[in-house]
Amino acid sequence: MLSTFWQVWIAAIVLGSIIGCGVLIQYTSRGQRKEETDQTTGHDYDGIQELDNPLPRWWVMMFWGTIVFGFGYLGTYGLGNFDGLLTVEVDGEQVTWTSTNQWKAEVQAFDKTIEPLYAEFAATPIPELMNNEAALQSGQRLFKSNCAVCHGSNAKGAQGFPNLTDSDWLYGGSPENIVQTITHGRQGAMPAWGAVLGEEGTANMVNYVRSLSGLKHDEEAAAKAAPQFQQICSACHGADAKGNQLVGAPNLTDDIWLYGGSSKQIEFTLKNGRNGKMPAHAEILGNNAEAKIHLLATYVYSLSNK
Protein backbone atom coordinates (compact mmCIF):
# COMPACT_ATOMS: atom_id res chain seq x y z
CA MET A 1 0.00 0.00 0.00
CA LEU A 2 1.19 3.49 -0.86
CA SER A 3 1.52 6.17 1.79
CA THR A 4 -0.84 9.16 1.61
CA PHE A 5 1.91 11.36 0.17
CA TRP A 6 2.75 9.01 -2.69
CA GLN A 7 -0.92 8.28 -3.31
CA VAL A 8 -1.62 12.01 -3.77
CA TRP A 9 1.58 12.51 -5.75
CA ILE A 10 0.83 9.75 -8.26
CA ALA A 11 -2.83 10.68 -8.60
CA ALA A 12 -1.92 14.33 -9.19
CA ILE A 13 0.62 13.49 -11.89
CA VAL A 14 -1.60 11.00 -13.72
CA LEU A 15 -4.88 12.90 -13.55
CA GLY A 16 -3.16 16.25 -14.03
CA SER A 17 -1.43 14.98 -17.17
CA ILE A 18 -4.64 13.64 -18.70
CA ILE A 19 -6.69 16.73 -17.85
CA GLY A 20 -3.83 18.97 -18.96
CA CYS A 21 -3.79 17.29 -22.38
CA GLY A 22 -7.51 17.96 -22.76
CA VAL A 23 -7.12 21.61 -21.76
CA LEU A 24 -4.22 22.00 -24.19
CA ILE A 25 -6.24 20.56 -27.08
CA GLN A 26 -9.19 22.80 -26.25
CA TYR A 27 -6.99 25.90 -25.92
CA THR A 28 -5.06 25.36 -29.16
CA SER A 29 -8.31 24.72 -31.05
CA ARG A 30 -9.58 28.21 -30.27
CA GLY A 31 -8.91 30.80 -32.93
CA GLN A 32 -7.83 28.21 -35.46
CA ARG A 33 -9.11 28.44 -38.95
CA LYS A 34 -12.01 26.19 -39.75
CA GLU A 35 -11.00 25.76 -43.37
CA GLU A 36 -7.74 25.12 -45.15
CA THR A 37 -5.81 28.03 -46.59
CA ASP A 38 -2.68 28.80 -48.58
CA GLN A 39 -1.54 31.23 -45.93
CA THR A 40 1.64 30.26 -44.10
CA THR A 41 2.79 30.70 -40.53
CA GLY A 42 5.92 32.45 -41.78
CA HIS A 43 8.13 29.47 -41.04
CA ASP A 44 10.38 28.46 -43.89
CA TYR A 45 12.86 25.59 -43.72
CA ASP A 46 14.99 25.08 -46.83
CA GLY A 47 12.06 26.09 -49.01
CA ILE A 48 9.55 24.02 -47.07
CA GLN A 49 6.77 26.29 -45.79
CA GLU A 50 4.38 25.59 -42.90
CA LEU A 51 0.76 26.29 -43.83
CA ASP A 52 -1.50 27.89 -41.22
CA ASN A 53 -4.09 25.10 -41.34
CA PRO A 54 -6.01 23.50 -38.44
CA LEU A 55 -5.19 19.97 -37.30
CA PRO A 56 -7.05 17.29 -39.25
CA ARG A 57 -10.37 16.47 -37.60
CA TRP A 58 -9.53 12.76 -37.30
CA TRP A 59 -6.29 13.65 -35.55
CA VAL A 60 -8.06 15.78 -32.95
CA MET A 61 -10.60 13.02 -32.38
CA MET A 62 -7.77 10.55 -31.76
CA PHE A 63 -6.38 12.85 -29.08
CA TRP A 64 -9.78 13.02 -27.37
CA GLY A 65 -10.21 9.29 -27.79
CA THR A 66 -6.87 8.71 -26.04
CA ILE A 67 -7.99 10.85 -23.12
CA VAL A 68 -11.28 8.98 -22.83
CA PHE A 69 -9.38 5.69 -23.01
CA GLY A 70 -7.09 6.89 -20.19
CA PHE A 71 -10.03 7.55 -17.86
CA GLY A 72 -11.56 4.20 -18.85
CA TYR A 73 -8.26 2.44 -18.11
CA LEU A 74 -8.01 4.06 -14.67
CA GLY A 75 -11.60 3.10 -13.91
CA THR A 76 -10.92 -0.49 -14.94
CA TYR A 77 -7.55 -1.12 -13.30
CA GLY A 78 -7.49 1.50 -10.57
CA LEU A 79 -4.97 4.15 -9.59
CA GLY A 80 -2.61 3.89 -6.64
CA ASN A 81 -4.58 2.60 -3.66
CA PHE A 82 -7.92 3.06 -5.42
CA ASP A 83 -9.30 -0.21 -6.77
CA GLY A 84 -10.66 -0.46 -10.28
CA LEU A 85 -13.81 -2.21 -11.44
CA LEU A 86 -11.99 -5.23 -12.92
CA THR A 87 -11.87 -8.44 -10.87
CA VAL A 88 -10.17 -11.82 -11.22
CA GLU A 89 -10.83 -15.19 -9.59
CA VAL A 90 -8.29 -16.22 -6.96
CA ASP A 91 -8.85 -19.17 -4.60
CA GLY A 92 -12.41 -19.47 -5.88
CA GLU A 93 -13.32 -15.85 -5.08
CA GLN A 94 -13.62 -12.71 -7.19
CA VAL A 95 -11.02 -10.21 -6.00
CA THR A 96 -9.92 -6.80 -7.22
CA TRP A 97 -7.50 -6.87 -10.12
CA THR A 98 -3.84 -6.32 -9.32
CA SER A 99 -0.83 -7.60 -11.19
CA THR A 100 -0.21 -10.03 -8.30
CA ASN A 101 -3.80 -11.31 -8.31
CA GLN A 102 -3.66 -11.66 -12.10
CA TRP A 103 -0.52 -13.77 -11.76
CA LYS A 104 -2.13 -15.92 -9.05
CA ALA A 105 -5.24 -16.41 -11.18
CA GLU A 106 -3.19 -17.52 -14.19
CA VAL A 107 -1.06 -19.89 -12.11
CA GLN A 108 -4.16 -21.44 -10.52
CA ALA A 109 -5.86 -21.78 -13.89
CA PHE A 110 -2.78 -23.52 -15.28
CA ASP A 111 -2.49 -25.79 -12.23
CA LYS A 112 -6.13 -26.77 -12.61
CA THR A 113 -5.56 -27.61 -16.26
CA ILE A 114 -2.40 -29.61 -15.57
CA GLU A 115 -3.72 -31.51 -12.51
CA PRO A 116 -5.01 -34.54 -14.47
CA LEU A 117 -1.63 -35.00 -16.13
CA TYR A 118 0.21 -34.57 -12.83
CA ALA A 119 -2.11 -37.13 -11.24
CA GLU A 120 -1.32 -39.60 -14.01
CA PHE A 121 2.43 -39.07 -13.58
CA ALA A 122 2.23 -39.30 -9.77
CA ALA A 123 0.41 -42.63 -9.97
CA THR A 124 3.24 -44.18 -12.02
CA PRO A 125 6.27 -45.65 -10.17
CA ILE A 126 9.50 -43.76 -10.84
CA PRO A 127 11.40 -46.65 -12.51
CA GLU A 128 8.51 -47.01 -14.94
CA LEU A 129 7.90 -43.28 -15.35
CA MET A 130 11.48 -42.59 -16.42
CA ASN A 131 10.64 -44.34 -19.70
CA ASN A 132 8.01 -41.65 -20.38
CA GLU A 133 9.66 -38.96 -22.49
CA ALA A 134 7.04 -36.32 -21.63
CA ALA A 135 7.54 -36.94 -17.91
CA LEU A 136 11.32 -36.68 -18.24
CA GLN A 137 11.02 -33.40 -20.14
CA SER A 138 8.75 -32.00 -17.44
CA GLY A 139 11.19 -33.16 -14.76
CA GLN A 140 14.09 -31.62 -16.64
CA ARG A 141 12.31 -28.25 -16.86
CA LEU A 142 11.63 -28.37 -13.11
CA PHE A 143 15.27 -29.27 -12.51
CA LYS A 144 16.61 -26.37 -14.57
CA SER A 145 14.25 -23.95 -12.83
CA ASN A 146 14.94 -25.11 -9.27
CA CYS A 147 18.09 -27.23 -9.07
CA ALA A 148 20.50 -26.16 -11.81
CA VAL A 149 21.70 -23.14 -9.85
CA CYS A 150 23.55 -25.52 -7.47
CA HIS A 151 23.96 -28.78 -9.37
CA GLY A 152 24.55 -27.19 -12.79
CA SER A 153 22.40 -27.40 -15.90
CA ASN A 154 24.09 -30.73 -16.75
CA ALA A 155 23.56 -31.98 -13.14
CA LYS A 156 27.28 -32.72 -12.78
CA GLY A 157 27.54 -30.49 -9.71
CA ALA A 158 30.48 -28.44 -8.48
CA GLN A 159 32.64 -28.22 -5.37
CA GLY A 160 30.25 -28.68 -2.46
CA PHE A 161 27.35 -29.67 -4.71
CA PRO A 162 27.02 -33.37 -5.60
CA ASN A 163 27.22 -34.76 -9.11
CA LEU A 164 23.85 -36.37 -9.79
CA THR A 165 24.91 -38.29 -12.89
CA ASP A 166 27.18 -40.84 -11.21
CA SER A 167 26.39 -43.73 -8.88
CA ASP A 168 27.79 -42.13 -5.73
CA TRP A 169 25.01 -41.06 -3.35
CA LEU A 170 25.45 -39.44 0.05
CA TYR A 171 21.93 -40.30 1.21
CA GLY A 172 21.03 -43.08 -1.20
CA GLY A 173 20.02 -43.11 -4.83
CA SER A 174 16.83 -45.16 -4.66
CA PRO A 175 13.64 -43.44 -5.85
CA GLU A 176 12.38 -43.29 -2.26
CA ASN A 177 15.60 -41.69 -1.00
CA ILE A 178 15.63 -39.12 -3.79
CA VAL A 179 12.01 -38.17 -3.08
CA GLN A 180 12.88 -37.86 0.62
CA THR A 181 15.85 -35.61 -0.16
CA ILE A 182 13.90 -33.30 -2.47
CA THR A 183 10.88 -33.13 -0.17
CA HIS A 184 12.56 -32.49 3.18
CA GLY A 185 16.06 -31.39 2.20
CA ARG A 186 19.31 -32.51 3.82
CA GLN A 187 21.66 -30.96 6.35
CA GLY A 188 25.21 -32.29 6.12
CA ALA A 189 27.74 -31.58 8.84
CA MET A 190 31.39 -32.56 9.06
CA PRO A 191 32.81 -31.53 12.49
CA ALA A 192 36.03 -29.55 12.70
CA TRP A 193 38.82 -31.78 14.03
CA GLY A 194 41.76 -29.38 13.85
CA ALA A 195 41.84 -28.72 17.59
CA VAL A 196 41.59 -32.44 18.39
CA LEU A 197 44.17 -33.69 15.90
CA GLY A 198 46.70 -30.86 16.11
CA GLU A 199 48.98 -29.88 13.22
CA GLU A 200 50.91 -33.15 13.05
CA GLY A 201 47.83 -35.29 13.57
CA THR A 202 45.98 -33.40 10.84
CA ALA A 203 48.86 -33.89 8.42
CA ASN A 204 48.95 -37.60 9.24
CA MET A 205 45.17 -37.90 8.77
CA VAL A 206 45.38 -36.17 5.39
CA ASN A 207 47.81 -38.87 4.26
CA TYR A 208 45.63 -41.64 5.65
CA VAL A 209 42.49 -40.35 3.95
CA ARG A 210 44.34 -40.03 0.64
CA SER A 211 45.63 -43.58 1.04
CA LEU A 212 42.07 -44.90 1.27
CA SER A 213 41.36 -43.96 -2.33
CA GLY A 214 44.82 -44.82 -3.67
CA LEU A 215 46.07 -41.24 -3.95
CA LYS A 216 49.73 -40.34 -3.45
CA HIS A 217 50.55 -40.27 0.25
CA ASP A 218 53.18 -40.77 2.93
CA GLU A 219 52.78 -44.36 4.13
CA GLU A 220 54.45 -43.77 7.48
CA ALA A 221 52.26 -40.75 8.27
CA ALA A 222 49.15 -42.63 7.12
CA ALA A 223 49.96 -45.55 9.41
CA LYS A 224 50.17 -43.21 12.40
CA ALA A 225 46.69 -41.84 11.69
CA ALA A 226 44.98 -45.19 11.13
CA PRO A 227 44.14 -45.77 14.83
CA GLN A 228 42.81 -42.22 15.20
CA PHE A 229 40.57 -42.73 12.19
CA GLN A 230 38.97 -45.72 13.87
CA GLN A 231 38.50 -43.71 17.08
CA ILE A 232 37.01 -40.47 15.75
CA CYS A 233 36.02 -40.95 12.10
CA SER A 234 34.65 -44.47 11.79
CA ALA A 235 31.48 -43.55 13.70
CA CYS A 236 30.27 -41.70 10.59
CA HIS A 237 32.40 -43.00 7.73
CA GLY A 238 32.45 -46.62 8.93
CA ALA A 239 35.33 -48.82 9.94
CA ASP A 240 35.95 -49.57 6.26
CA ALA A 241 35.63 -45.84 5.37
CA LYS A 242 32.92 -46.61 2.84
CA GLY A 243 30.56 -44.05 4.35
CA ASN A 244 27.10 -44.14 5.85
CA GLN A 245 24.06 -43.00 3.87
CA LEU A 246 21.97 -42.69 7.03
CA VAL A 247 23.96 -39.61 8.05
CA GLY A 248 25.23 -38.57 4.62
CA ALA A 249 28.86 -39.48 5.39
CA PRO A 250 30.71 -39.93 2.08
CA ASN A 251 32.63 -42.99 0.93
CA LEU A 252 36.33 -42.16 1.29
CA THR A 253 37.60 -45.15 -0.68
CA ASP A 254 36.51 -44.03 -4.16
CA ASP A 255 37.77 -41.19 -6.35
CA ILE A 256 34.73 -38.93 -5.86
CA TRP A 257 35.30 -35.89 -3.66
CA LEU A 258 32.55 -33.44 -2.81
CA TYR A 259 34.97 -30.74 -1.63
CA GLY A 260 38.09 -31.89 -3.45
CA GLY A 261 40.70 -34.57 -2.79
CA SER A 262 43.91 -32.56 -2.83
CA SER A 263 45.98 -32.46 0.32
CA LYS A 264 45.11 -28.80 0.91
CA GLN A 265 41.40 -29.39 0.46
CA ILE A 266 41.34 -32.43 2.75
CA GLU A 267 43.39 -30.51 5.33
CA PHE A 268 40.88 -27.64 5.25
CA THR A 269 37.99 -30.09 5.67
CA LEU A 270 39.63 -31.76 8.67
CA LYS A 271 40.57 -28.49 10.37
CA ASN A 272 37.40 -26.49 9.75
CA GLY A 273 34.71 -29.03 9.02
CA ARG A 274 32.06 -28.71 6.33
CA ASN A 275 28.40 -27.73 6.37
CA GLY A 276 26.24 -28.46 3.36
CA LYS A 277 22.53 -27.81 3.08
CA MET A 278 20.07 -29.08 0.53
CA PRO A 279 16.86 -27.00 0.91
CA ALA A 280 13.48 -28.68 1.28
CA HIS A 281 11.43 -28.19 -1.89
CA ALA A 282 7.98 -29.21 -0.63
CA GLU A 283 7.03 -25.53 -0.20
CA ILE A 284 9.34 -24.06 -2.84
CA LEU A 285 7.57 -25.92 -5.65
CA GLY A 286 4.15 -24.51 -4.68
CA ASN A 287 0.94 -26.04 -6.03
CA ASN A 288 1.02 -29.73 -7.01
CA ALA A 289 4.34 -29.98 -5.14
CA GLU A 290 4.01 -33.72 -4.54
CA ALA A 291 3.58 -34.45 -8.24
CA LYS A 292 6.40 -32.05 -9.15
CA ILE A 293 8.72 -33.76 -6.67
CA HIS A 294 7.76 -37.10 -8.23
CA LEU A 295 8.72 -35.75 -11.67
CA LEU A 296 11.94 -34.20 -10.34
CA ALA A 297 12.90 -37.45 -8.64
CA THR A 298 12.18 -39.34 -11.86
CA TYR A 299 14.50 -37.05 -13.84
CA VAL A 300 17.27 -37.23 -11.22
CA TYR A 301 16.92 -41.02 -10.96
CA SER A 302 17.18 -41.31 -14.75
CA LEU A 303 20.51 -39.43 -14.80
CA SER A 304 22.37 -42.31 -13.14
CA ASN A 305 20.12 -45.11 -14.36
CA LYS A 306 20.25 -44.85 -18.12
What is the CATH number that goes with domain 187-278? Answer: 1.10.760.10
What is the CATH number that goes with domain 129-185+280-303? Answer: 1.10.760.10
Per-residue pLDDT tens for 171-188?
Answer: 999 999 999 999 999 999
Rounded to an integer, what distance in angstroms lies between the CA atom of residue 66 and that of residue 229?
A: 80
Cα atoms in the 13 Å half-sphere on the side-chain side of 219: 0
Mean pLDDT value of segment 143-164: 96
Cα atoms in the 13 Å half-sphere on the side-chain side of 128: 6
The neighbouring-strand residues paired with 40 are 51
Per-residue pLDDT tens for 202-213?
Answer: 999 999 999 999
Q: Predicted confidence band at 293 (pLDDT cuts at 50, 70, 90)?
A: very high
Q: Buried b / exposed e across 19-36, counting CB within 10 Å, b at 16+?
A: eeebeeeeeeeeeeeeee
Q: Predicted confidence band at 49 (pLDDT cuts at 50, 70, 90)?
A: confident
Per-residue pLDDT tens for 59-87?
Answer: 999 999 999 999 999 999 999 888 899 99
**Residue 151: is its pLDDT beyond 80?**
yes
**Residue 255: is its pLDDT beyond 80?**
yes
111 with 288: CB under 8 angstroms?
yes
- Residue range(s) in the chain whose domain bears CATH number 1.10.760.10: 129-185+280-303, 187-278
Q: What angle is formed at CA 176 by the lines to CA 175 and CA 180, rounded to 5 degrees?
A: 115
pLDDT recorded at residue 228: 96
**Residue 33: is its pLDDT beyond 80?**
no
| SS percent in the chain: helix, strand, coil, step 5 | 55, 10, 35
